[in-house]
Structure 1
Amino acid sequence: MMDDTEKSRIWQKITEYAEASASELSELRRDFHRHPEPGWMEFRTSGRIADLLHLYGCDEVLTDQQVCKAEARMGVPEGGGMTGVIGMLHCGMGPTVALRFDIDALPVRECEELDHFPAQEGFRSEHAGYMHACGHDGHITVGLGTAKLLCQMREQLHGTIKFIFQPAEEGVRGARAIVENGHLEDVDFLLAAHMYGGSEQHPCGICITAGHGLATTKLDVDFHGKASHAAAAPEQGNNALLAAATAVLNLQAIPQHGKADTRINVGKLVAGSGRNIICDAAHMELEVRGKTSEANQYMQTYAERIVKCAAEMHGCTVETHLMGTALSSSNSSELNERLEQVCAEQLNIPVWRDPEAFSNVSEDFSCMSEAVRSHGGQACYFLNVSRCSAPLHNDRFDFQEKALMNGVKAFCGVTAELLKT
């Protein structure tokens, strides 16, 4: 058992390290920001993370098929592969703590105006059409800074730490493949965080949430019909465009769930080849969401029934493909309290609670947290708050780099608290 003097030294070391590493963290973040890669294509990103984890002293560094179960991946694009990294640090007998950091970028063309800080400072995206517009460059950097310090502190810790650098969070496609590879089965405590914009009342610090938003299912739907001449032989065709249009109108009419909020959106519909041709193929991309996993399942089941019936109405066939999924989940109250106590009392980080923050988005961290909770473990998702220049997923999004220090302090502090005996 640590005495108070030893604990005090640990908190001091964490604070001093994070503050002394500000320049290193900034440089690392800007490198990742300059080289964004979309989900399942984070090849450079994963390689750089793995190299640094080896350098810092992780006992094991898992890559490629060791990280994700190939057949459990969802929404893999052409050219996509096995990405993601898990670093392992063994510090003797004790609990297992997993820290998750997502690593993928978005298909957003970054702002070129010089009043946009990354453009002004020369670290704007060099990958045309892609950008770290959701702060994952910051998440990666916080994860690496945390790993570096905890490797240095291993003699004061008792247990195992897993640094999980997850691919393909955007579109909620990546977490399930890590879960199904068994990496959460022995985890006692699981934590993750997200960059988030501050307010006048709370410009910077750690915001503890109630959980991680809405359950969701992402579906791609392909209608298959039969082409024919629209004037000479319309009766010989089966109109896939009409089937898809029928589906869209009826999807928007799904009754709301009486016990929880629900959402549905058809975001893309592509069909047809010419004005005088009965369309033989249509492609639709849609999502459903629910405040609970049960409400989301209600929406998914109803939506799948509608697209099937719409296809049958017009003599078409239909294929539905699962492209992403996330559950509803809540934080452990005990882990929330430990995070709050460490940040406020030991690390001098402003900390507050907001149960509504991040409540109307979806995060596949929930797949991991539910896997941990299923065997009695605890999970916590929190927000790393700073002044942001624009909303998430915007071409002008940027965060204040002092948030990198707060993130490292928070993750290191709560991990040290959990593994101190």
Structure 2
Amino acid sequence: MSIDFSHYIHKVQQDLHRIPEPAFKEFKTAAYIEKELKSMGYTVQSGIAGTGVIGTYKGERDRPCIGVRADMDCITHEEDGRVFYHHSCGHDAHSSIALGIAKLLSEQKEKMKGSVKFIFQPAEEIMQGAKAMVHEGVLEDVDSLIGFHLRTATECPTGSMSPALMHSAGTILTGKIQGRTAHGGRPHLGVNVIDVFGTLINSINAIRPNPQTGTTIKFTSLSAGGGSYNVIPGSGSFALDVRSRDNKELHRVLERIARIIHHTGSMYDATITYKVEGRVPAPRYSEELIQEAKVAIESVLGEGKAISPILTPGGEDFHYYTDLTNIEAVFLGIGANVSPGLHDPSMTFEKNSLVEAANVISHLVNQLHNKE
């Protein structure tokens, strides 16, 4: 790897890190990426799904067309009543890696056997960007899709990569309980939502998911009362976080939760309404692409540097690409010593990992182009 290339990818990351923008508002980020892609000679489309950017180059043949996807949005944090934006999930790094890959491939365009399509996607953090890009038809001419994400040292040692990052499917469910307010001295006249909560929590926590699917169910928010202490609270709200590595098991658990909510409301003569605020599917990867990714990692980083697939309870909206289409895909984990962790506003990572990842993935693109 050249010093010039390392300097380029590090500068891009620093530039993008200075302009963090939340979901569907990545205007400066998109403009920066568009300018860089055009300077490399790519055919560029902007304003896709609002702020998405596409960079395409057709090589010796139109197909196969290999897609490389990167996310652009940042995290919205709140501390001491102050809201601020920060790239604490590494999306500035992911876009930098993708631009690094684009730069490497642009320097060998005359040798490219197939085509490449860079997909810079908005709104990953709110799990809406990939769906929006699919609806815009960005995968219609793509044969294989590659994604990637920075990882902690405990998941993937620095200098190594995983050919498959196995996320969980996940759902956020929010609900409201309407009981009946009453005087604390006349509880028989009310419907106490705290009592309803007690049964709801115990019943939902009694669900026994298949342990082999890594399924978890957690109440993450409860609210009731808050006024005078001698008043029976008649309304409340709650939220649930449900995750699983298996889409079918997630669906089964959500059906159980729905039945419990219905029966609990009937038992207490309370009205419980709820809705699914967001859902992200589990991965569906191509085993062939996983093996190709392993070969690329070890070809560039060395033997033994491709670690086993990583299991993580986190979610990733990349998986809507395979959930909503028949695209073959793979999603790599990048050993980058992320510390203290993703989504922490003080998050840092090993900058040289971006250079390594760009070299590996550009090698993978060429490898897939040259397959017989």
Select 1:60's aligned residue among 44, 54, 77. Answer: 44
How has the CA–CA distance of structure 1 residues 317 and 155 changed in structure 2, closer, same or farther, with 3 Å as cutoff?
farther
Task: Name the counterpart of 2:314.
Answer: 361
Structure 1 residue 195 displacement after superposition: 0.6
Corresponding letter in the other structure for 2:93: G
Residues 404-419 of structure 1 aligned to structure 2 (within 5 Å): 404-419=354-369
Select 1:217's aligned residue among 144, 168, 171. Answer: 171
Task: Name the counterpart of 1:95.
Answer: 64
Structure 1 residue 411 displacement after superposition: 1.9
Structure 1 residue 295 displacement after superposition: 0.9
Task: Name the counterpart of 1:104.
Answer: 73
Select 1:338's aligned residue among 288, 292, 295. Answer: 292
8 Å CA contact 1:41–1:83 kept in 2: the answer is yes
Structure 1 residue 278 displacement after superposition: 4.3
Question: Does the residue aligned with 1:282 lie in a helix, a strand or coil?
Answer: strand
- Deviations along 1:48-91, one digit per CA (max 9) or x if unpaired, are 3334333433313232xx33xxxxxxxxxxxxxx4433333333
Task: Name the counterpart of 1:144.
Answer: 99
Task: Name the counterpart of 1:329.
Answer: 283
Task: Name the counterpart of 1:396.
Answer: 346
Select 1:31's aligned residue among 3, 15, 22. Answer: 15
Q: Is 1:263 equivalent to 2:216 in the alignment?
A: yes
Distance of 1:200 and 1:316 partners within structure 2? 45
8 Å CA contact 1:39–1:168 kept in 2: the answer is yes
Distance of 2:36 and 2:308 partners within structure 1? 35
Select 1:249's aligned residue among 181, 191, 202. Answer: 202
How has the CA–CA distance of structure 1 residues 271 and 102 changed in structure 2, closer, same or farther, with 3 Å as cutoff?
farther
8 Å CA contact 1:343–1:350 kept in 2: the answer is no
How has the CA–CA distance of structure 1 residues 258 and 337 changed in structure 2, closer, same or farther, with 3 Å as cutoff?
closer
TM-score by length of 1: 0.76
How has the CA–CA distance of structure 1 residues 288 and 201 changed in structure 2, closer, same or farther, with 3 Å as cutoff?
closer
How has the CA–CA distance of structure 1 residues 53 and 163 changed in structure 2, closer, same or farther, with 3 Å as cutoff?
same
Distance of 1:261 and 1:350 partners within structure 2? 27
> How well do the aligned residues superpose, as a CA RMSD in angstroms?
3.1
Structure 1 residue 164 displacement after superposition: 1.8
Task: Name the counterpart of 1:130.
Answer: 85
Corresponding letter in the other structure for 1:338: E
Q: Is 1:291 equivalent to 2:291 in the alignment?
A: no
Higher strand share: 2
How has the CA–CA distance of structure 1 residues 42 and 330 changed in structure 2, closer, same or farther, with 3 Å as cutoff?
same
Task: Name the counterpart of 2:109.
Answer: 154
Q: Is 1:274 equivalent to 2:227 in the alignment?
A: yes
Corresponding letter in the other structure for 1:359: T
Corresponding letter in the other structure for 2:349: F
Aligned length: 367
How has the CA–CA distance of structure 1 residues 238 and 380 changed in structure 2, closer, same or farther, with 3 Å as cutoff?
same
8 Å CA contact 2:297–2:306 kept in 1: the answer is no
- Deviations along 1:204-253, one digit per CA (max 9) or x if unpaired, are 132223x5222222222233445x44347756655445444432332212
8 Å CA contact 1:208–1:351 kept in 2: the answer is no
After the TM superposition, which of the residue ranges 380-389 and 293-302 deviates more from structure 2? 380-389
Structure 1 residue 277 displacement after superposition: 4.2
Runs of 5+ unmatched residues, structure 1: 1-14, 68-81, 111-126
Task: Name the counterpart of 2:158.
Answer: 203
Task: Name the counterpart of 1:50.
Answer: 34
Task: Name the counterpart of 1:8.
Answer: none
8 Å CA contact 2:123–2:129 kept in 1: the answer is yes
Corresponding letter in the other structure for 1:20: D
Task: Name the counterpart of 2:262.
Answer: 308
Structure 1 residue 313 displacement after superposition: 3.4
Distance of 1:141 and 1:109 partners within structure 2? 26
Corresponding letter in the other structure for 2:296: V
Residues 222-233 of structure 1 aligned to structure 2 (within 5 Å): 222-226=176-180, 228-231=181-184
Distance of 1:195 and 1:48 partners within structure 2? 22
Task: Name the counterpart of 1:188.
Answer: 143
After the TM superposition, which of the residue ranges 139-148 and 242-251 deviates more from structure 2? 242-251
How has the CA–CA distance of structure 1 residues 333 and 353 changed in structure 2, closer, same or farther, with 3 Å as cutoff?
farther
Distance of 1:364 and 1:283 partners within structure 2? 27
Task: Name the counterpart of 2:53.
Answer: 85
8 Å CA contact 2:182–2:234 kept in 1: the answer is no
Percent identity for Structure 1 against Structure 2: 27
Corresponding letter in the other structure for 1:99: V
Distance of 1:48 and 1:386 partners within structure 2? 24
Question: Does the residue aligned with 1:203 lie in a helix, a strand or coil?
Answer: coil
How has the CA–CA distance of structure 1 residues 247 and 205 changed in structure 2, closer, same or farther, with 3 Å as cutoff?
same
TM-score by length of 2: 0.85
Distance of 1:336 and 1:384 partners within structure 2? 14
Runs of 5+ unmatched residues, structure 2: none
8 Å CA contact 2:34–2:44 kept in 1: the answer is no
Structure 1 residue 348 displacement after superposition: 5.3
Distance of 1:336 and 1:141 partners within structure 2? 23
